[in-house]
Every structure is written in structure tokens, then in C-alpha cells.
Amino acid sequence: MAFPATRLRRLRKTDGLRALVRETTLAPSHLIYPMFVVHGSDTRTPIASMPGIDHLSIDHAVQEAGEAAALGVAGVMLFGLPASKDEMGSGAWDEEGVVQLATRAIKAAHPDLLVVTDLCLCEYTSHGHCGVLRSDGVVDNDQTLELLARTAVAQVAAGADALAPSDMMDGRVGALRAALDEEGYSETPIIAHSAKYASAFYGPFREAADSAPASGDRRGYQMDPANAREAVRAARLDEEEGADVVMVKPALPYLDV
């Protein structure tokens, strides 16, 4: 039916009508609040590159998670800064690792708050890369998958409601899904960083997470910022492997994707 019988402006006439047919809304319940957690207690250290954001010890993280919940925020995403690092990133799957401790504490205090855990090794490796390095300095994709799977199981065992793998290894979603299912966690969703670009916009985050590579860069496994079609291909592959949610990061420079 065409004009004049159809007049799209009818549904734009009042605030109430516009709200009734609004296709996109943004509310606190649509948001996840990222937190950078550290060992210790009564610690709140400002992050220079992110004014207003702090490194939080677990007690402060629990308090801040409660404040977020009171505002209606859906959940928190935890990034861990371990007290020590090694070549393999073993702190990532340690039962007493900082993310596992923070997850247990937050879920105990706020059981209805969604806790999503970042799943990567870069915060835990002494070299700052997102996986195990071969002798030639290249990240060993398949060996890294085994360690990511161990980390996934440890995080969910600690109470994580969902996992957000950000490592950009090939096949990681399938490896994580298989490991979780084998351990009885078939209902735990995977929120995949499907298109994570090797972007300069990550500079502040790498300071916040203390995860800048000691040598080289991440262009060998993160996505080329010039590629849009590859992002769609990667998202489809993740979906086929069992991802429940796919995302693009950083978001604002890649809204076209």
C-alpha cells in the first residue's frame, strides 16, 4: 500500500508512539561492565590510560559489582592481572588464579549478577602474547588451544556464567565447546571475539591488562584492520564451531562490519 494510504509519519507523532515501535533501545540491562582485578585486598590503583578506571582487588571488585547490579547493569566481565607470570601462562587456569577467586567472590555476594570471564593467556604469559611461543617466536596455535580449554574449564568451575575468548586462535571455539561439554558444562555460552582487529585502539587496554607483547606484535593472529569480509567469514566459522554470541572489537572504528 502506497502513499497517501500509507503515512509512515503516523507512528512518529508522539513520544509514546515512537517508543512503542522503537527497534533499538539501550538500557543498563544491555551492558556488561569490565573490571580489572588483582590479588590482594583494599587495593584500588588508577589506570593512567583509562581515567576513572582502576585496578581492583577482589574485595573492591565485589563492592563495585554490587553497585553495578544496583544500577541495573546486566553483568561484569573480568580481566585478571596475576601476581606472577610464566612462559605458559599457567596462572590462567590455576584454581587460585585471580579471575577464579574474583568469580567465586562476586557470585557468592551477587548470585544473580552475570559474570563473564575474559579468556586469553596474554595477561598471564611473561612474553605478553596470547599463546605459547615456538622457538621461532611464533604463537603455537594448537598447543595454545589445549591451554585455553583448561582455562575455560577452570573459569566455569569457579562459577563463570559465560566465557569470552579473545585470543584469536584458529579453532578455539570448537576446542572450548568440546572441553566444556566433556566436563558437563554444555549449557555455558561462549561469547566469541570473532573479529578482533590488530588495532591501535587497544593501546590503553594493554596498559590496563599489563599485556603488551614483550617483542613483536599480534598481527600474526589478530585480524588485519583493512579487512571486512574476513570478519564475516570468521564469525561464520565461530558460529559453526558452537559460538553463542559473536562480536567485533574494537567496536566504534568498525561499525560498518
Nearest alpha-carbon partner for 68 in 114, 104, 119: 114
Distances (CA, A) of 248 to 149, 174, 183, 237: 22, 19, 29, 14
Q: Assess whether the previous peptide bond of 51 is cis (omega < 30° from 0).
A: no
Q: Answer yes or no: 85 catalytic.
A: no
Q: Which helix (H) or strand (E) holds 74?
A: none
Contact between 54 and 94 (Cβ < 8 Å)? no
Vertex 128, ends 192 and 136: CA angle to 5°? 100
Contact between 207 and 49 (Cβ < 8 Å)? yes
* Residues contacting residue 57 through CB under 8 Å, at least 6 positions apart: 37, 38, 39, 40, 41, 42, 43, 44
Residue of 13, 85, 107, 249 with catalytic role: 249
What's the length of the chain?
257
Q: Assess whether the previous peptide bond of 250 is cis (omega < 30° from 0).
A: yes
Residue of 13, 85, 107, 196 with catalytic role: 196
Q: Answer yes or no: 249 catalytic.
A: yes
Side chain identity, residue 30: H
Q: Which residues pair with 192 in a beta bridge?
A: 246
Residues with a catalytic annotation lie at 196, 249
